[in-house]
Amino acid sequence: MDEHTFILNRERAVDYLNTLDRLYVFDGFAGWDPAARFKIRVVCARPYHALFMNNMLIRPTEEELAGFGQPDFTILNAGAFPANRFTSFMTSPTSIDVILGTQYAGEMKKGVFSLMNYMLPKMGILSLHSGCNEGKDGDVTLFFGLSGTGKTTLSADPRRPLIGDDEHGWSDRGVFNIEGGCYAKAIGLKEESEPDIYRAIRFGTILENVVFDEDSRVVDYEAGAITENTRASYPIEHIANAKIPCVGGHPRNIIMLACDAYGVLPPVAKLTKEQAMYYFISGYTAKVAGTEDGVTEPEATFSACFGSAFLMWHPTKYASMLAERVEQHGTNVWLVNTGWTGGPYGVGRRFKLRHTRAIVDAIHSGELAAAQYDTMPVFNLQVPTVVSGVPSEALMPVNSWADKEAYRRKLAHLGAQFVKNFKKFEDGGGHVSADEALAILAAGPNP
């Protein structure tokens, strides 16, 4: 989009907002690190949108609010009003630079994230689409992953204080959350399996698109009648063990999450430095019905750095910043499949949350770093032979499939999709040397 189109959209949003009798304004911060903190003003037509950003941004103290002054950035949310589709560069009535034509509250938080993906790297800080928590001895873990892969679910862990569930920065001082709240998927939520998130849903939380009984107000988390993408937005302090301020040291472990609906990838693999770059740049998951409209069948998705829609620089810029930090801090990198086992979607079933949690626990206890590994064909991934609390036949995927030939076909098929996707990154994008680019490419699958 060019500047002129942006100005036209902005004018349209301002004109619409000016017609309203009442507007809702919220001032808050993005970035828990005071050296990387931005003042954000949200101006919107609906109180729900203002409350959403009250939950998702960092709430200023009364004193901070008194001295807030002019914001660094302003979000104009005129989502009830469409953009003019005849404006050049506008291919739809939905605009997300200033918000027109969509009332999805997530646009505002991801708008701030896009901004941070531009600003932070300029300041030498890596922006991360990841969850983050911290162990008793201060060891930090990042959970990268696309929407629905488990960032929010797995970073909420009663034994590990939560730093954040979705958006972080990694500077020379360590990691910090960008946000002041969480945005959890609520579909199928149960107190037994996700107690922290379930209990975080109380006064002040926004529940979006859930089905509830109008008389009793009891919510039916199982119902996806409106959409599968039901959500709960709550201030981070609603999580009992949130770490406030939401900052931590340099990560000891990075977990890259993929929800592989083909059932091809192992539930956990240990990555070499080059594999870590390869899987980070690839940003794989397989979408099943969920966050996005129109997705009803599993479909491989590659989204660079696990968030290409929010990247403002070439993906290899973020990847090389990640490689530098991983090297400097000796961070271990893991690939965890929170998707299917025993066959693809429709044949097998999703990994049990308690098995994925057992894997994450084995990473944190150091059990996996000391484990024995086998090599998985095609992807050349190092897969542990034993993980406490996880059935061993689930570790090497071929063992969990009844039809071994069908597995081999899907393995080759997924490998080929990775290779095809990676073509556009083969030259390193000017941010890694030609030799490094070759080493990263060689770390990918060989179908």
Ligand X SMILES: C=C(OP(=O)(O)O)C(=O)O
What is the smallest separation between the CB atom of 181 and ligand ADP, expressed in angstroms?
13
Q: Is 303 in the site for ligand X (CB under 6 A)?
A: no
- Which of the listed partners (ligand X, ligand ADP, none) does 351 bind, with a CB threshold of 5 to 8 Å by partner kind? ligand ADP
Number of Cβ atoms within 10 Å of the Cβ of 395: 24
Tokens of 427: 């030259």
Cα(178)–Cα(175) distance, integer angstroms: 10
Contacts with ligand ADP, residue ranges (CB under 6 A): 145, 147-154, 165, 184-185, 187-188, 194, 338, 350-351, 353, 356
Binding ligand X (rule: CB under 6 A), the pick from 134, 166, 179, 361 is 166
Number of Cβ atoms within 10 Å of the Cβ of 213: 9
Q: Residue 429 has what DSSP assignment? A: G
What is the smallest separation between the CB atom of 68 and ligand ADP, expressed in angstroms?
30
Q: Is 194 in the site for ligand X (CB under 6 A)?
A: no
The nearer residue to ligand X, 114 or 331, going by C-beta atoms, is 114
- Which of the listed partners (ligand ADP, ligand X, none) does 110 bind, with a CB threshold of 5 to 8 Å by partner kind? ligand X
SS3 419: helix
Shortest CA distance to 378 belongs to which of 344, 421, 414?
414
Evaluate whether 94 touches 101 at the Cβ level (below 8 Å).
yes
Binding ligand X (rule: CB under 6 A), the pick from 52, 183, 280, 340 is 183
Shortest CA distance to 332 belongs to which of 288, 287, 270?
270
The nearer residue to ligand ADP, 185 or 252, going by C-beta atoms, is 185
Number of Cβ atoms within 10 Å of the Cβ of 147: 24
The nearer residue to ligand ADP, 189 or 381, going by C-beta atoms, is 189
In this chain, which residue has its C-beta nearest to ligand X?
A: 147
What is the smallest separation between the CB atom of 265 and ligand ADP, expressed in angstroms?
13
Q: End-to-end CA distance of the chain, in Å?
A: 39
Near ligand X in 100-119, by CB under 6 A: 106, 110
Length of the chain: 447
Taking only Cα atoms into account, the Rg of the chain, rounded to an integer number of angstroms, comes to 22
Binding ligand X (rule: CB under 6 A), the pick from 95, 127, 147, 356 is 147
Q: Contact positions toward ligand X, by CB under 6 A?
A: 106, 110, 147-148, 166, 183, 291
